[in-house]
Amino acid sequence: MLRNLKEFYYPTTVPEALAILERFDSKAAVVAGGTTLGRTDDAKIEAMIDITRMGLSFIKEDKVSLRLGATTPLQTLAKTRKLQSFAGGLIASAAAAQPSKQLRNAMTLGGSIVISTPWSDMPPALLTLDAQMILVGKIDRVIPAEEFLFEPKYRLLGRSEILTEVRISRELAGWRSQYAVFSRTRTDPAMAIASVALRDDGDTCVGARVVLGGITRKASRCPAAEKKLVGKKLGPSHFTAAAKAALAGIDVVADWRASREYRLHVAEVLMRRTLAACWEQAKGVAR
């Protein structure tokens, strides 16, 4: 419980929110959906800044990028037609993978990135698409998803900075993709996540992005697996090789849900199947 929480603030602009953050130093937390903070125990937090009234819930496109507002609910991401087709619908699929409509309604894109548990669905998808995080503070920063996700949990607490937007290059719009989760039940946290995007040139794979999630503390790109795919006319043997390469040398986490060995095995199978499904889909659409 946040036993020292005394006040809520409802800024309507980003500068207003930043001023409140500044004033409370490290004693104010930013809240959007509230699904994580509502269950957090932290005596340091004295004020809560609700950032859902600052116009940060949007999905738009400019000349170079797809722009997603940080407080856009996952349900909106899952249901927006543009996202269901952009890059094979990867963002919409990842958002829809979050079970429970009530949670998808509350959870936001920004929140799922900032909190980023091993089983969070948005980080693997954003890594696959090389998303850029837009942070507004004293200076504005643009940070690649890869770098952002590896910073410690609650990194935004105690800093006068707010994640306002996620940008994805429109060059990826035509890629095919597949997002798959392996979990004990639909609502249980993922034991393994495979998020892949492929681009084909008729028969040959000309671009591959492979991301594994749920098996280590943070999702990660697998360049070794991508090398096994690019430039080849893909078939079952390539998917097997790429899945093996993706898992090679990864320090898989063991917990009460799954042993190291079990997780390694299902992750490899999941990756192989996901790559195959993505490729079939890519070929199907291209022809």
Partner 1 sequence: MKLEMKLNGQDVSLDIAGPELLLDLLRDNGYFGSKRGCENGDCGACTVLVDGKAVCSCMYFAGQAHGREVTTIEGLGTMEHPHPLQETFVECGAVQCGFCIPGMLMSAKELLDECPNPKDPEIREALDGNLCRCTGYTKQFEAVKLTAKRMAEGTGKGRDSGRKSARGGKSR
Where along the sequence are the contacts to partner 1 (CB under 8 A)? 1-8, 10, 31, 34-35, 37-39, 48, 50, 52-53, 73, 75, 99-103, 105-106, 186-187
**Amino acid making up residue 149:** L
Total count of residues recorded for the chain = 287
CB of 279 to partner 1, least distance (A): 26
Nearer to partner 1, 35 or 164 (CB): 35
Nearer to partner 1, 69 or 73 (CB): 73
| Token pair for 78 | 């899952």
CB of 87 to partner 1, least distance (A): 22
Nearer to partner 1, 38 or 174 (CB): 38
180 close to 273: Cβ distance less than 8 angstroms: yes
129 close to 209: Cβ distance less than 8 angstroms: yes
| Token pair for 245 | 């390469």
Nearer to partner 1, 98 or 160 (CB): 98
Q: Can you tell me which residue has the tokens 């797809």?
A: 66
CB of 190 to partner 1, least distance (A): 15
Nearer to partner 1, 37 or 242 (CB): 37
Beta strand 47-50 with 65-69: parallel, antiparallel or unpaired? unpaired
Strand ranges in 114-252 using DSSP code E only, listed in sequence order: 132-136, 141-144, 162-169, 176-182, 192-201, 204-213, 220-221
**Amino acid making up residue 123:** P
CB of 62 to partner 1, least distance (A): 28
Beta strand 65-69 with 162-169: parallel, antiparallel or unpaired? antiparallel
| Token pair for 129 | 């698409």
CB of 39 to partner 1, least distance (A): 7
